[in-house]
Amino acid sequence: MESHGVTDEREGNDDGRSADRGREALIKATVRVVAARGMRGLTYRAVAQEAGVTHGLVAHHFGSREALITAAFREDARTREAQKELGPGTGRIEDIGAQLASIVHDQPYEQRYQYEMILEALRTPGLLEDVRKTYEAFIEATREELRLAGADDLDTLSSVVYAALDGLVLQQLITGDSDATRRAVARLQSLIKADIAVSRLKASMDAR
């Protein structure tokens, strides 16, 4: 695996910003290691090799393997949320999931990492709560997109739509077919439009 070099703070300056950059680089290295080797391959030595530092520096920053895993998951979740994978909050159904295929294509390691962490969380109660919170945040983001688009029954619909998008990520990782994901997202958008249209028609008829 390619090294992505990080300055070892013990040999460089002690500036706080440098320490933050070093910690961030180690977290990114953790994501790449887990995506490539799975959780069984996650060791201080593997992360250090990926980041281009001594393995003692990993322990210095995180203290334990569990702390490293949790920190990496939380940072990756923040990155995904910032990317607006589900949509930019425009209220346009055509924007829901529109960038999904490109994100999976451009960042396969990050997506594979997410699934590895979900499986790990099922065996690690402390991590499971973080995974649940992340899922809840993405479902809430989906709910807001649908609300802006004029949908109702938001709790159920947001869970269904997010589950579909999440499944499409896994499907693309397996098949490598970005075009199939784009077609599926377009079809999902059409189904959302139809659901909204039916709900509005029903509300109109009930109002008569």
**Could you read off the pLDDT of 2-60 as tens digits, one per residue?**
445 544 444 444 555 666 778 888 998 999 999 999 898 999 999 999 999 888 888 88
Amino acid at 15: D
Q: What is the mean pLDDT of residues 172-187?
A: 97
**DSSP label at 153?**
S
Q: How far is it, in rounded angstroms, from Cα 112 to Cα 116?
A: 6
Confidence category of residue 75, pLDDT binned at 50, 70, 90:
confident
**Mean of the per-residue pLDDT values for the chain?**
86
State what percent of residues in the chain have pLDDT above 70: 87
What is residue 83's predicted lDDT score, i.e. its pLDDT? 62
What is residue 59's predicted lDDT score, i.e. its pLDDT? 87
Confidence category of residue 84, pLDDT binned at 50, 70, 90:
low
1-72 classified as CATH 3.40.50.880? no
Confidence category of residue 195, pLDDT binned at 50, 70, 90:
very high
User: pTM above the 0.85 mark?
Assistant: no
Is the pLDDT at 197 greater than 90, yes or no? yes
More confident residue, 4 or 96: 96
Q: Which residues contact 91 (CB under 8 A, 6 or more apart)?
A: 145, 148, 149, 150
What is the residue extent of each domain of the chain? 1-72, 83-208
Reading the block at residue 50, the tokens are: 């990926």
Q: What is the mean pLDDT of residues 92-120?
A: 91
Q: How far is it, in rounded angstroms, from Cα 47 to Cα 68?
A: 10
Q: What is the mean pLDDT of residues 104-111?
A: 91
What is residue 156's predicted lDDT score, i.e. its pLDDT? 95
Q: How far is it, in rounded angstroms, from Cα 69 to Cα 121?
A: 10
Residue-wise pLDDT for 133-149, tens only, equals 888 988 998 999 999 99
Q: Report the range of poorest mean pLDDT among 115-119, 143-147, 174-178, 204-208.
A: 204-208
